[in-house]
Amino acid sequence: MSEIRVRFAPSPTGPLHIGGVRTALYNFLFARQSKGRFILRIEDTDQKRFVPGAEEYILESLSWAGLNIDEGPVQGGPYGPYRQSERRDIYKKYSEQLLKDGHAYMAFDTPEELEAMRERMRKEGNPSPQYNAITRQYMKNSLTLPADEVEKRLAAGEPYVIRIKMPRNEEVKVKDLIRGWVSFQSNQLDDKVLVKADGLPTYHLANVVDDHLMKISHVIRGEEWLPSTPLHVLLYRYLGWEESMPEFAHLPLILRPDGKGKLSKRDGDRLGIPVYPITWKDPASGEESMGFREKGFFPEAFVNMLAFLGWNPGSDQEIFSLDELIKAFSIERIGKAGARFDIEKARWFNQQFLKQKDDAELASMLRPYLEKEGVKAEDAYLVQVCRLMKERAAFIPDIYSEGKYFFAPVEAYDEKIVAKKWNDSVKPFFTALRQRLTDINPFEKEEIEKAVKSEMELKGMKFGQVLPVFRVMLCGTVAGPPIFDVAELLGKEEVLMRMDRFMERYA
């Protein structure tokens, strides 16, 4: 069996969204499990849509997700260059071959003329006019123009495009690994532009030529490409490569969480959910869209979540490391239907990974967030905070946002609890407790608990009367880790200060 070689071929027209990352992921998993090669090819044949920084963004996103590239523009490889704009000359040879063999022709129609033709046909009731076997007869191309006229135009340097000459009445069958055989009628297809007036190929030609030259064995891409696959099959045939044509697998799309349509940037803005792997700042508008990374997602969780959007292992296991995914992945188990992205499930995945991390690791991951907030804390202290908070967090930043009281004095007290529980019968209790705590050395949770309990007994009070108040004094809220743990970690001095502050305020 020949080597498995797959490619991820984005165009650098903006940030990758999670559908793109998932496509990259499936390619990557397939390559790794079959000991094949994972190739990155930048499809930048449309210079008009080039967005600065997009290629770097793609690279960084893949790298963050742990999808290491074997061959690509940065790492090179035996079939480079891996940027289509640098392969200009390569395509020329093949477009000329198609021309020579009569499978393609030159068309001199200006964009205006094309638009006029379409407008005319729309008026005649054709909602999507095509440049095809019928209409090409009325257009300016090397099929309709006299040979000398063509020569003249060429000599004059008149711009032209090269179009495929779509055959009539042919059935073109596409074998898709996910959907089985899909067949198309060539009459329904149009004479797609293969080479643009600027001399660069369109996706269709470049993609077929490169996949062949780069010895791609499997084309795993989004479902939006299925309708143009018959065109690609024809191109392989006309170029004489049908025997070694890659296998195709068209992935179902990722749909938006609510409503209709596929996931888009607007959904992210509207629903406050990330749609990009890492934060993207639009160079034109300066607008920033937050990424999964910046939201606090672990790359492992992100990848795990993504893998399950359209694929499943056929077992009950849901938590997978990248290596486990590589072992378990199979194209056969990719679903056919579009998958709706669910932020709640994504959150759950992240929480599962967070729970697995040890306290020190969490602490070092939390550190950058604290620095951003201007919060200082000792390493050992941070580790302890993580130990107490990790059961309560789904994301690293939650450890801070849900546990600010570990790093700063309480700003706001839960007034409902204060109103309900802070009364004249508990006030003396805390005055006495404060005194008892003063004498505890070392200030450890068992001793603190003992002090609280014995004072409770003395005053004949119940946990429910006392503990919520103690908690609000120290944390401001009734939610949080076991209160004696919190007290110990805060330390005697801080605990006493917070008690004083509270009692003064609500005296």
Q: Which amino acid is at 45?
A: T
Contacting range for RNA; rule: CB under 7 A; set: 176-184, 238-246, 281-289, 370-378: 176-184
Please list, in sequence order, all residues whose beta carbon lies within 8 angstroms of the beta carbon of residue 30, skipping any fewer than 6 positions away: 4, 6, 36, 218, 220, 329, 331
- For RNA, the closer of residues 9 and 239 by Cβ is 9
Considering CB under 7 A, how many residues would be counted as binding RNA?
86
Q: Which amino acid is at 61?
A: S
Residues 39-58 interacting with RNA (rule: CB under 7 A) = 43, 45-46, 48-49
For position 450 contacting RNA by CB under 7 A, the verdict is no
- For RNA, the closer of residues 78 and 464 by Cβ is 464
Rounded least distance, CB 466 to RNA, Å: 7
Contact with RNA (CB under 7 A) among 83, 153, 265, 345 = 345
Rounded least distance, CB 29 to RNA, Å: 15
Which residues are bridge partners to 141 per DSSP? 107
For position 392 contacting RNA by CB under 7 A, the verdict is yes
Residues 251-270 interacting with RNA (rule: CB under 7 A) = 252-253, 255, 260-262
User: How long is the chain?
Assistant: 507
Contact with RNA (CB under 7 A) among 86, 224, 371, 446 = 224
Residues 455-494 interacting with RNA (rule: CB under 7 A) = 463-464, 466-468, 471, 478-484
The CA distance from 469 to 448, in Å, is 15
The CA distance from 436 to 430, in Å, is 10
Rounded least distance, CB 258 to RNA, Å: 8
Rounded least distance, CB 373 to RNA, Å: 22
Please list, in sequence order, all residues whose beta carbon lies within 8 angstroms of the beta carbon of residue 45, skipping any fewer than 6 positions away: 11, 84, 85, 196, 200, 201, 202, 203, 206
The CA distance from 394 to 297, in Å, is 9
Residues 178-217 interacting with RNA (rule: CB under 7 A) = 179-180, 182-185, 188, 190, 192-193, 196-198, 200, 202-204, 206
Is 336 catalytic? The answer is: no
Residues 84-123 interacting with RNA (rule: CB under 7 A) = 109-111, 114
Structure letter (DSSP) for residue 17: -
The CA distance from 200 to 422, in Å, is 77
For position 38 contacting RNA by CB under 7 A, the verdict is no
Angle, alpha carbons 346-351-353 (nearest 5°): 100
Contact, 174 vs 124, CB < 8 A? no
The CA distance from 84 to 283, in Å, is 23
Please list, in sequence order, all residues whose beta carbon lies within 8 angstroms of the beta carbon of residue 44, skipping any fewer than 6 positions away: 11, 12, 50, 55, 83, 84, 85
The CA distance from 400 to 391, in Å, is 13
Residues 308-327 interacting with RNA (rule: CB under 7 A) = 308-312, 314, 316, 318
Rounded least distance, CB 114 to RNA, Å: 6
Contact with RNA (CB under 7 A) among 355, 420, 453, 505 = 355
- For RNA, the closer of residues 231 and 370 by Cβ is 231
Rounded least distance, CB 1 to RNA, Å: 25
- For RNA, the closer of residues 202 and 289 by Cβ is 202
Contact with RNA (CB under 7 A) among 127, 157, 286, 460 = 127
Contact with RNA (CB under 7 A) among 23, 27, 61, 130 = 130
Rounded least distance, CB 35 to RNA, Å: 26
Contact, 450 vs 469, CB < 8 A? no
- For RNA, the closer of residues 11 and 384 by Cβ is 11
For position 83 contacting RNA by CB under 7 A, the verdict is no
Catalytic choice (265, 404, 445, 450): 265
- For RNA, the closer of residues 3 and 342 by Cβ is 342
- For RNA, the closer of residues 196 and 357 by Cβ is 196
Rounded least distance, CB 197 to RNA, Å: 3
SS3 letters for 199-262? CCECHHHHHHHHHHHCCCCEEEEEHHHHHHHHHHHHHHHHCCCHHHCCEEEEECCEECCCCCCE
Angle, alpha carbons 410-501-421 (nearest 5°): 80
**Within the chain, how many helices (H) and strands (E) appear?**
21, 13
Contact with RNA (CB under 7 A) among 25, 54, 161, 251 = 161
The residues assigned a catalytic role are: 265
